[in-house]
Amino acid sequence: MTRRTRTFIVLTVALVTATVASASVYRAVRRIPVREVEVAHEFVVLAARPLGIGTQITAADVRLVGWPSSSPLAGGFKTIKDVVGRGLVTAVSANEPLIESKLAPREAGAGLSPAIPPGMRAISVKVNEVIGVAGFAVPGARVDVVATVRHPGDAVTRVLVANVQVLTAGTRYDQEKARDAKPIPSTVVTLMVTPEQAERIALASTEGQVTLMLRNPLDVDEPATPGARLARLVDDTASAVPRPLPALGTKPEPKPAKAITPPPQPRPSVQPPVYSVEAIRAGKRSIETVK
């Protein structure tokens, strides 16, 4: 067999093998069931950009996207006009669907007021870089409010309100500028509290200084601390048993004046008696005194 004949036989076998393999693959592919892709034929409203709490929605803030009809979005909106003019009661991120629970009623308007649950109140606390936990007291965070009140000759610090939610950080002007991703130092922090807690925070802000402590949102335990006093802080010999803390804003009861005992009068000195003695020495007579 010549070299040319051997080459021809090899090419023929390779061609037949490739044809059989291709046919087998083609038949296997034909047996795979056809996967039908569902075409969305309904739309939902999504946020076109991040929106903060209290924002009044405009047509430029939202957009329509297709949504599978087999998985309808509960509480969603199908037209933009259904959400325009309503306020947000919670912050949303970009491309997040808008549902009924995230929007305030149309007659409630926009702003922070519709976001406050019944029975709760919003109170703003003036802060700086230290009091505001270095800018980490952001909306949604949980904080403890610590009050420091000074009394004549003493000062007391204790946890006033625990585990309260931060509604907003900064003024409305600061929040508008924060949309440009520029860091803005906050001057106020708005907290969501009960009316009783609001009274205590307002009194502490007037009579002393308020500081915020950032806490883990999963930590719901109430802090059980007796508070700190300046007298015990600087004097290690002071009693370790804490005295009851006076109510904030009240003056401490005056201590009863100690009775002043007059100093003892000095006793009059007793002079020893003086005696006169007549003495005669060498024929001379003289009078001498003896004590």
- pLDDT in 10s for each residue of the chain, 291 residues: 677 888 888 888 888 898 989 988 888 888 887 776 666 678 899 999 988 888 889 999 999 988 888 788 888 898 999 999 888 888 888 999 999 988 888 777 777 778 788 889 999 888 776 666 666 777 888 899 998 888 887 888 888 899 998 888 776 545 554 454 444 556 788 899 999 999 999 999 888 888 888 888 888 888 888 888 887 776 655 544 455 555 555 555 555 555 566 666 666 666 666 667 677 776 677 777 766
| pLDDT of 129 | 64
| pLDDT of 153 | 79
On the CB side of 137, how many CA atoms lie within 13 Å of its CA?
33
Residue that has been written with the tokens 């009194």 in this structure: 203
Scored b (16 or more CB within 10 A) or e, 75-109 reads ebbeebebbbebbbbebbeeeebbbeebbbeeeee
| pLDDT of 185 | 57
Does domain 42-114 fall into CATH 3.90.1210.10? yes
Q: How far apart are CA 199 and CA 176, in angstroms?
A: 30
| pLDDT of 98 | 92
Residue 20 to residues 10, 17, 143, 189, 243, Cα–Cα distance (Å): 16, 5, 73, 76, 96
| pLDDT of 68 | 82
| pLDDT of 221 | 84
* Burial degree of 43 (CB within 10 A; 0-12, 13-18, 19+): middle
**What does the domain layout of the chain look like in residue ranges?**
42-114, 121-234
| pLDDT of 208 | 87
Q: How far apart are the first and last CA of the chain?
A: 167
